Amino acid sequence: MQIRPEIKEKIVLALDVDTPEQAKQLITELKDYVGIFKVGLQMYTGNGYEIFNFMREQNIKFFFDVKLHDIPNTVAKASENIIRNGASFFNLHTTGGEEMMRMAQESARKTAKELGKENPVILGVTVLTSISEESLQKELKVPYKPNEYAIHLALMAKNAGLDGVVASVWEAKKIKQVCGKDFKVLCPGIRPDWSNKNDQKRLATPSIAIKEGADYLVIGRAVTSAEDRVKAIQMIYEEIENAMLTQNKSYAVSKGKLILENGMIFEGESIGADGTSYGEIVFNTSMVGYQEILTDPSYAGQTIVMTYPEIGNYGINKDDFESGKIHAKGFIVKNMCEHESHYKSALPLAEYLKQNNIVGLKV
């Protein structure tokens, strides 16, 4: 089996076992397929730094899933110690506040520079995958849905200079839209369909995680409890590979043309549904309001050309419709925003066009 680095680096294996011997066996057996091994509190509190030392000696990347949460100075000192002990990744609770997160990342990066190491990847923990909406609202008295609260916490992490966050798959795409495509999202609760589900409430398969934009996928008992661990990790690797291939195909550029009655042809990139549409060309000079324009009955049967150079920046929401459907036959823009950035957005404009079978063109 040929191992591709861009797939391997996405796989984070949780070493949630009782003894260093068990952990070392997993590392030795699966290191060809795993980009990062995760050491959590179960292993650390039972065995200290023994497994850290083992991986550091073998130059194996590991993620200390420590979830720091304390006063800023204490967390900064702990972050320094974590880097000195060889971790490439570690995390802290975003609910500790921006000052705590900022001091932690500054201390960790300063220490890495002093030691001649690569910058560590520092992630903020948003909403634990074991926390349901009911738990968040009734027990913790947070008056938001988990996905809404996670996005708020992710923005705090970005403002504090963290590299990304730990979040559920179901928040990953929106976090990327709000915080930028380079902001990393590590997703726990990843289980293939053939694996039993345990204590995490908001789970997803590896293929769904890739589709939703996850950068790192934490795999645990689906592999570590499997009868044949190598076969299990290979199956997960192949699922991720197939999902990435499908994703890359979906982003392939499809060409389109605008052909006028007088024979003039304008070539561009398709941004909506595949197909052909016919209709009178009309121009709209609005800077905003494309959702209302598309669903305005007065544009029935027409192809709308938006003259403002950037369209789609706030996506499509459930409130700004003029009617219950798109009345236009086609939609033409100068440039389509790839990542909408509005908290009300339910889906991108391009996806909305596709779902409604509307031909679109970027010229």
Q: Which residues are catalytic?
A: 67
Q: What is the dihedral of CA 247, 129, 218, 76, to 10 degrees?
A: 120
Strands 359-362 vs 265-270: parallel, antiparallel or unpaired:
antiparallel
SS3 141: coil
- Provide the pairing of β-strand 216-219 with 255-259: unpaired
Helix (H, G, I), strand (E, B) or coil at 89: strand
Query: Which residues contact residue 183 at a Cβ distance below 8 angstroms, ignoring those fewer than 6 apart?
Result: 154, 158, 163, 164, 165, 175, 176
User: For residue 265, what are the β-bridge partners?
Assistant: 259
Beta strands in the chain (DSSP E): 11-14, 36-39, 62-68, 89-93, 121-125, 164-166, 184-187, 216-219, 255-259, 265-270, 281-284, 303-306, 330-333, 359-362
